[in-house]
Chains A and B, each alone.
Chain A
């Protein structure tokens, strides 16, 4: 079908010993079992004794971490690091029932340091979990039909879907599709049931992983559904993004398909870069599963398995060429993409407060800074969950929606929040559009503070905005503690990624609704330099902007920041 010669020296066609050590590790893991069950019994360490098991547990939603605030202190005390685990739940589309909420709450209180963290992929993370508490948490989740399968690892991660309560006409349909896709693409190995639920191993002649095979994906793979005009899920940051096309009159017609988004990069390695997904066409709604299978097949077979730094789908596309990749997808899908349909995004943020929908229901979006639910939030939302008959939705901006509330229940929910001192109050435009990842002290990758740094940074940036008359201007701000980009920093109008304690790279010029990458303008600097630069460009923006012009758009038009047209030019 093509005369192009494709380089297959880095992909699955090669023998294992030519691929990266992680590929061999996966292949030797007996479909993600490793020696996890054995390591859980080791009483001499609070960690998993096998480094391979630590990696394999990611496929089961579990990250081994330690309290980095205590690392030095404990080393001097001749104690091992304060090992603990982060558990990420799989909640496709970010929707859970009150019964599930109450279970999450109970487990967080008993085993998770009395806190839950809403993530940028619409789910929950438990932190501060000790080794002995892993099984109680996972078994507790199981009681309410939740699991942690593939919440991390080289597989298809939790599937996202727009939560914008105003577009709830399609929401139920899209959220159901997200769940269907997620259930379809997760690993099928029984290892999870055996290790965490204590299930017996059953002999079978069926392949354990009919899609993935023994080496799974080359790296993580992210899928999301967006409902224009909201791009809250940052569809262009997904490996595979579906943009819903439809209208009230005709219902859901299908999806525009975008491929090859991804945030992660490595400092000082120009071969790595963030990339926005490329639109490749339209599919009818009933082709979603076939399309997801086809796209994942192409990445599974052609993705780089020698160099993990270049193993994401975005590099496969840029290395092989978009046209070739698209043709492969069509071949596997058994059908052609139609021409992409028109759509328009206006924002990737949340709409706060009560919103009513034509079905007569009401939805309350609450602002939760950095998605951190401490004890005060847990107490309030537990009370809400006890009387709530609708759903909870977690937003990709780390907020929470009390959704599907009947008219007569609104007052009771307001009163409960009021009684806990958490009634929705005024929140500045900057705060509403700010995201931070967790970073220190729990994340092993963090080089600088993020969640703990955000409040102080906001406190110092807000007066600058006010001085320039920009206090009410929505501007997206995202902070990550490392370059991997959990807060999706490279599409924010203002972004910081950590380099060392107190030192960040500053990026400017991203698109307000997630349509353009930003560009690094300062490298490895402290807060003073960051605020000084922001003060200067915000000052000019205030004076020179056109009506309705967003900050990022202005910076590009005024030539203050060079436009990054494609990911591979990010480091130019």
Chain B
């Protein structure tokens, strides 16, 4: 949320500071909740305290707090106890949800109210294997503050181990650290846990049961819709903090695809599944240094740039594209160097050679091969293009990941003239951006790549990082409880290492958010297999889906994937509808016209 000056005389300066302070720490769900809370609070004030001049000393206790019983287990003991606690809670008139840490949607943690933890310990004080992810989340920097949560922990362990009940101890300490309130002290149980577990259950359920039967104040559940318009856009990007940046291909992969998460908290930025995130680029300092060196320019040399004084180093780092060769620069350098080899490329008859030359040289290759003495910064940058932000399809949905945007990035790498080169932003993300760093970002809307509004079936086709927007689609559909069918075709090189987001698709398949998935891994076998082959193998079903009104999406490589998939689609329609090629092309064209065939290719 963007803070402004205090609105008139409604608040004292001190109050406004408190409001501002609070607001900056809020997630959007919390903000929603508070808007309703204050609305209800206001109503309460008007009713009960017509001349109220000060806040009541104690906030009203909310009715029927939610109760979640969360367990972490390897052998099933904690699960059994959790089920028993759940039954005890029910017997005491409480509504409780029992969940395994392995399946728990971690983002829900911030919305919990009363939380009972039952967890065992393995090895050297480690959590049960299936709960490792939960521990990493809650103990990591992404864990939310939990001031409204109350909790109690039952720890299972074995006294013959050095780190007895460490799993429970860790969660107990961490929940307190996150601001949660302890309902009763932690109980540690040895291998003969049954008695202690019963005592603990009686104590905690007794306490919660007694509270629930006490009369409570009604609370307003009115939800406001404070749609804020962000001040951040391409010209005024938001400095987003990187909260995760990890390779998501396994060891031995021929790729280095990464998963990167940005926090958008406080930006007011909103996006829809299918949108892209723009990232303002910064050139590699090593490339800048090498170029300056080749030009014989000092990085701190000042010059006038658009009426302001800039240094050459700053300008080449942040303001101009300095890698790929463009015609304007070739012309400029041909004149400046007066090199015959360059001058002849300017002739019309050498257009073919010129195109090849442009593709196979970077600016620095030209500067090194055809050196020029005494280059003036102003003239040099005038031949350069302004540095452009890079767009990446967002791989997350705000509905599932409030205040975050996730990207799937495969750094561009290649060798040219014996030197390793990388993409400006993809290389930066892979090599030079650690968690906690900030990068200037904005949202680039992509209205032509949208989920159908009416829960129609969707067929998603993507290879490599092209799968990113489908992760957003699935998160969105899961969060909204959409019931439409969905079918994903995914391709990459090797099953074992390159199955991007594999465990997430598996879990969506399991809960039927994703109805079907077909995969093609091109380098696992001698004969190469791509997504279009998998589509053709399922031609009858695929056509039936289209006839049922399915929307079809293609995301990824523009030079191979998109045309191959397009051709496959026409073949499938022709084959299944038993029509001629032209009719099949018409069919596909009308899909496009109806916005049922959408592409995001690059």
Stretch at the interface among A67-75, A248-256, A294-302, A380-388: A67-75
Quick check: B251 and A524 within 8 Å, CB to CB? no
Also in contact, A77 and B124, with CB within 8 A (given A44-B519, A45-B506, A82-B496): no
Also in contact, A44 and B496, with CB within 8 A (given A77-B246, A78-B501, A500-B124): no
Also in contact, A524 and B250, with CB within 8 A (given A72-B132, A80-B506, A268-B191): no
Residues in chain A near residue B248, CB distance under 8 A: 77-79
Also in contact, A43 and B247, with CB within 8 A (given A72-B132, A78-B259, A79-B502): no
Q: Which of A251-301 contact B (CB under 8 A)?
A: 268
Q: Is A501 an interface residue (CB 8 A)?
A: yes
Q: Is A76 an interface residue (CB 8 A)?
A: yes
Q: Which of B162, B247, B509, B524 contacts A44 (CB 8 A)?
A: B509
Quick check: B504 and A46 within 8 Å, CB to CB? no
- In the complex the two chains form, what is the Cα distance from A45 to B495 in whole Å? 9
Q: Is B44 an interface residue (CB 8 A)?
A: no
Quick check: A501 and B123 within 8 Å, CB to CB? yes
Least CB distance from A397 to B in Å reads 30
Q: Is A523 an interface residue (CB 8 A)?
A: yes
Q: Which of A30-55 contact B (CB under 8 A)?
A: 43-46
Encoded as 1 (CB less than 8 Å from any A CB) or 0, chain B from 117 to 150 comes to: 0000011100001001100100000000000000
Q: Is B158 an interface residue (CB 8 A)?
A: yes
- In the complex the two chains form, what is the Cα distance from A130 to B495 in whole Å? 11
Residues in chain B near residue A524, CB distance under 8 A: 160-162
Q: Which of B160, B497, B500, B505 contacts A523 (CB 8 A)?
A: B160
- In the complex the two chains form, what is the Cα distance from A231 to B502 in whole Å? 50
- In the complex the two chains form, what is the Cα distance from A75 to B524 in whole Å? 22
Quick check: B160 and A70 within 8 Å, CB to CB? no
Q: Which of A70, A132, A499, A503 contacts B250 (CB 8 A)?
A: A70
Quick check: A44 and B517 within 8 Å, CB to CB? yes
Q: Is A447 an interface residue (CB 8 A)?
A: yes
- In the complex the two chains form, what is the Cα distance from A72 to B518 in whole Å? 26
Kindly report which residue of chain B lies nearest to residue A447, judged by CB atoms.
Answer: B123
Kindly report which residue of chain A lies nearest to residue B258, judged by CB atoms.
Answer: A77
Q: Which of A67-118 contact B (CB under 8 A)?
A: 70-80, 82
Residues in chain B near residue A46, CB distance under 8 A: 495-496
Quick check: B496 and A43 within 8 Å, CB to CB? no
Scoring A45, A71, A132, A502 by chain B CB atoms within 10 A of each residue's CB, the highest score goes to A45
- In the complex the two chains form, what is the Cα distance from A232 to B503 in whole Å? 46
Q: Is B499 an interface residue (CB 8 A)?
A: yes
Quick check: B246 and A76 within 8 Å, CB to CB? yes
- In the complex the two chains form, what is the Cα distance from A70 to B191 in whole Å? 29
Kindly report which residue of chain B lies nearest to residue A44, judged by CB atoms.
Answer: B517
Quick check: B250 and A500 within 8 Å, CB to CB? no
Size category of the B interface is 35 or more
Least CB distance from A111 to B in Å reads 13
- In the complex the two chains form, what is the Cα distance from A90 to B504 in whole Å? 39
Encoded as 1 (CB less than 8 Å from any A CB) or 0, chain B from 325 to 368 comes to: 00000000000000000000000000000000000000000000
Q: Which of B160, B501, B519 contacts A43 (CB 8 A)?
A: B519
Kindly report which residue of chain A lies nearest to residue B190, judged by CB atoms.
Answer: A268
Residues in chain A near residue B123, CB distance under 8 A: 447, 500-501
Scoring B162, B249, B503, B509 by chain A CB atoms within 10 A of each residue's CB, the highest score goes to B503
Residues in chain B near residue A70, CB distance under 8 A: 250-251
Q: Which of A75, A500, A503 contacts B503 (CB 8 A)?
A: A75
Least CB distance from A552 to B in Å reads 25
- In the complex the two chains form, what is the Cα distance from A46 to B124 in whole Å? 29
Quick check: B505 and A44 within 8 Å, CB to CB? yes
- Total residues of chain A contacting the partner, CB 8 A: 27
- In the complex the two chains form, what is the Cα distance from A523 to B124 in whole Å? 15
Scoring B136, B191, B496, B506 by chain A CB atoms within 10 A of each residue's CB, the highest score goes to B496
Encoded as 1 (CB less than 8 Å from any A CB) or 0, chain B from 493 to 529 comes to: 0011101111111100100000001110000100000
Scoring A75, A77, A78, A502 by chain B CB atoms within 10 A of each residue's CB, the highest score goes to A77
Quick check: A71 and B505 within 8 Å, CB to CB? no
- In the complex the two chains form, what is the Cα distance from A141 to B279 in whole Å? 56
- In the complex the two chains form, what is the Cα distance from A43 to B132 in whole Å? 26
Kindly report which residue of chain B lies nearest to residue A72, judged by CB atoms.
Answer: B132
Residues in chain A near residue B504, CB distance under 8 A: 78
Kindly report which residue of chain A lies nearest to residue B497, judged by CB atoms.
Answer: A79
Quick check: A77 and B496 within 8 Å, CB to CB? no
Quick check: A77 and B191 within 8 Å, CB to CB? no
Residues in chain B near residue A499, CB distance under 8 A: 160-161
- In the complex the two chains form, what is the Cα distance from A500 to B74 in whole Å? 15
- In the complex the two chains form, what is the Cα distance from A77 to B247 in whole Å? 7
Quick check: B251 and A73 within 8 Å, CB to CB? yes
Quick check: A78 and B161 within 8 Å, CB to CB? no
- In the complex the two chains form, what is the Cα distance from A499 to B250 in whole Å? 29
Residues in chain A near residue B506, CB distance under 8 A: 44-45, 80
Least CB distance from A524 to B in Å reads 5
- In the complex the two chains form, what is the Cα distance from A301 to B123 in whole Å? 38
Residues in chain A near residue B124, CB distance under 8 A: 500-503
Quick check: A75 and B247 within 8 Å, CB to CB? no
- In the complex the two chains form, what is the Cα distance from A79 to B246 in whole Å? 12
- In the complex the two chains form, what is the Cα distance from A479 to B318 in whole Å? 61
- In the complex the two chains form, what is the Cα distance from A71 to B247 in whole Å? 15
Least CB distance from A53 to B in Å reads 16
- In the complex the two chains form, what is the Cα distance from A434 to B158 in whole Å? 30
Residues in chain A near residue B497, CB distance under 8 A: 79
- In the complex the two chains form, what is the Cα distance from A70 to B129 in whole Å? 13
- In the complex the two chains form, what is the Cα distance from A12 to B373 in whole Å? 95
Q: Which of B129, B162, B501 contacts A71 (CB 8 A)?
A: B129
Residues in chain B near residue A82, CB distance under 8 A: 250, 496
Residues in chain B near residue A76, CB distance under 8 A: 136, 246
- In the complex the two chains form, what is the Cα distance from A240 to B259 in whole Å? 56
Least CB distance from A61 to B in Å reads 23
Quick check: A79 and B503 within 8 Å, CB to CB? yes
Also in contact, A75 and B517, with CB within 8 A (given A46-B496, A268-B158, A524-B161): no
- In the complex the two chains form, what is the Cα distance from A447 to B123 in whole Å? 7
Least CB distance from A506 to B in Å reads 13
Extra contacts besides A44-B505, A79-B497 (10): CB < 8 Å: A44-B517, A73-B251, A77-B247, A78-B502, A78-B504, A499-B161, A500-B123, A500-B124, A502-B124, A503-B124
Of all A-B residue pairs in the complex, the 7 with the closest CB atoms, nearest first, are A500-B123, A77-B248, A524-B160, A268-B191, A78-B501, A79-B502, A78-B503
Provide 26 A-B residue pairs closer than 8 Å at the C-beta atoms, listed in order of the A residue.
Answer: A43-B519, A44-B502, A44-B509, A44-B517, A46-B496, A70-B250, A70-B251, A73-B250, A73-B251, A75-B132, A75-B133, A77-B246, A77-B247, A77-B259, A78-B259, A78-B502, A80-B499, A80-B502, A82-B250, A130-B496, A447-B123, A500-B124, A501-B124, A503-B124, A503-B161, A523-B160
| Interface residues in chain A, defined as those with a beta carbon under 8 Å from any beta carbon in chain B | 43-46, 70-80, 82, 130, 132, 268, 447, 499-503, 523-524
